[in-house]
């Protein structure tokens, strides 16, 4: 059974579409599901989604957190000033 309440390895700040923090796998999954259009089809977001899902099933949370940060950074949406 998936554990969506698991915390990410560290909080991940984002600036787009608004400013906020992703704290749990659930937060990350909701953010990824809200990514739209061509942005959602980019490999970095596809991979982030797969790793977040795997982490909820007991996989590597650190790898999922890193990929989420990478996807946000590549979109210019990673909040580096947290």
What does pLDDT average to over the chain?
Answer: 96
Query: What total number of domains does the chain contain?
Result: 1
Q: Average pLDDT for residues 14-37, to the nearest whole number? A: 96
Strands (E), 1-82: 7-14, 20-24
C-beta separation of 52 from 27 below 8 A: no
pLDDT value at position 82?
Answer: 53
pTM summary value: 0.94
pLDDT value at position 17?
Answer: 86
Residue 7, in any domain of the structure? no
Question: Phi, psi at residue 75, to the nearest 5°?
Answer: -90, 0
Is the pLDDT at 48 greater than 60, yes or no? yes
In which domain, by residue range, is 51 found?
A: 24-74
Residue 51, in any domain of the structure? yes
Residue 12, in any domain of the structure? no
C-beta separation of 3 from 69 below 8 A: no
Residue 66, in any domain of the structure? yes
Q: Average pLDDT for residues 61-82, to the nearest whole number? A: 94
Query: What gap in Å lies between CA 37 and CA 4, rounded to an integer?
Result: 25
């Amino acid at each position: 059974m998936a554990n969506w309440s698991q915390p990410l390895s560290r909080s991940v700040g984002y600036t787009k579409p608004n400013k906020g923090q992703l704290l749990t796998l659930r937060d990350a999954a909701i953010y990824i599901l809200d990514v739209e259009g061509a942005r959602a089809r980019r490999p970095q977001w596809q991979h982030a989604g797969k790793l977040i899902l795997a982490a909820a099933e007991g996989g590597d949370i650190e790898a999922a957190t890193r990929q989420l940060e990478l996807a946000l950074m590549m979109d210019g949406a990673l909040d580096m000033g947290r």
